[in-house]
Amino acid sequence: MTKEEYIKIAIDTMIKGDTDAAVDNMNAAIADGIDPAELLSEGYSAGIREVGDQFGKGRMFLPELMLAADAMKAVSEVVNAEVEKAGKSVEKRGVMVLATVQGDVHDIGKGIVASLIKTQGIDVIDMGRDVPAQAIIDKAVEVDADLIGTSALLTTTMGEMKVLEELLKSQDLKKKFKTLIGGAPVTERFAKRIGADAYGEDASEAVEKAMALLS
Ligand code: B12
């Protein structure tokens, strides 16, 4: 099959929330020599965004959103394993603490960011989701991190990124840790406004920005 055909099926499996078909399609594409990260972003991510849009318009409902999320999670686990296999022998470049901010349970994109960044020799300590800003800072101090990455998918939780910046400043830690932010509602402009060091639109830009911040 062509890449376009795999992409079309990927989108369709997200809309149907069909985990088995989604994983089968990804495995078949990998066996066919298709880049899994590209299929993830051009196919599955596009599909789940479509589900999100339909949900936003009231044409799809929470159970369908949850099915699509399960399918997306299963597919990203396949991709993460592939990507991590490829990046085993890279020299160590630094340590990053990564979390989805407090009040927010969206963690699929963050998981993809984590595995891609790991391939570049950056140790990623993934604290999970719904993590308070102070807990992120405490972890960064504990592990002597170079970089703090945060993810937010809700307009109502983006503000937690500003809270993090303010806490870093008030604890005189702003110069110690570089901050990188991302997630669907986050923008470059927002990053500048709150004083974050960088913004990454997707997982490959996250890698690019993380490397730039560490160099
Ligand atoms: C899947 C999903 C869910 C799943 C999440 C499962 C999980 N474990 O993550 C479930 C069903 C649980 C869910 C719940 C809710 N959701 Co929801 N969800 C989505 C959906 C459809 C897809 C998100 C996703 O996984 N995308 C795929 C990944 C690969 O993309 P991504 O997350 O954007 O990540 C990429 C980039 O953003 C970037 N990135 C991400 N993080 C980081 C971090 C760094 C450091 C960097 C550099 C880059 C980066 O790189 C990633 C990879 O390329 C979105 C729609 C959308 N357009 O985003 C809605 C969406 C985000 N959800 C929404 C809503 C409203 C909710 C709920 C409030 C619904 C409800 N009534 O309960 C709850 C909120 C619960 C909470 N407190 O967090 C809204 C938010 C609206 C808004 N303006 O804030 C959206 C936009 C849907 C919509 N159109 O209404 N959701």
**How many CB atoms within 10 Å of residue 20?**
10
Paired tokens of 140:
């960064």
Q: What is the pLDDT of residues 188-199, one digit of tens each?
A: 999 999 999 999
C-beta of 203 in contact with ligand 1 (< 6 A): yes
Residue 118: band (very low, low, confident or very high) from pLDDT cuts 50, 70, 90 = confident
In percent, how much of the chain has pLDDT > 70? 99
- Mean pLDDT score across all residues of the chain: 95
> Do residues 14 and 44 touch, judged by C-beta distance below 8 A?
yes
Residue 129's identity, in one-letter code, is R
Between the CA of residue 82 and those of 40, 78, 152, what are the distances in Å?
A: 12, 6, 25
Shared-domain flag, residues 26 and 126:
no
Mean pLDDT of 199-207: 94
Ligand 1 centre and the CA of 175: distance in Å? Answer: 30
Count CB neighbours of 143 within 10 A.
Answer: 13
Query: 12 and 42: one domain?
Result: yes
Ligand 1 pocket check for 181: Cβ under 6 Å: yes
CATH number at residue 73: 1.10.1240.10
Sorting pLDDT into bands at 50, 70 and 90, what band is 80? confident
- Enumerate residues 6+ apart whose C-beta is below 8 A from 31: none
Residue 211: in which H helix or E strand, if any?
helix 203-214
Same domain, 64 and 131: no
Binding site membership of 45 for ligand 1 (Cβ less than 6 Å)? yes
CA gap 187, 156 in Å, rounded: 14
Q: At residue 63, what is the residue type?
A: P
Indicate if the pLDDT at residue 89 is higher than 70.
Answer: no
Let me know whether 196 and 153 are in one domain. yes
Angstrom distance (rounded) from CA 12 to CA 28: 16
Atom of ligand 1 lying closest to residue 104 CA: 78
Host domain of residue 141:
94-214
Mean pLDDT of 164-182: 98
Predicted pLDDT of residue 87 = 64
Give how many domains the chain has, as a whole number: 2
Is a pLDDT exceeding 90 seen at residue 166? Answer: yes
pTM, two decimal places: 0.94
Q: Quick one: 67 and 134 in the same domain?
A: no
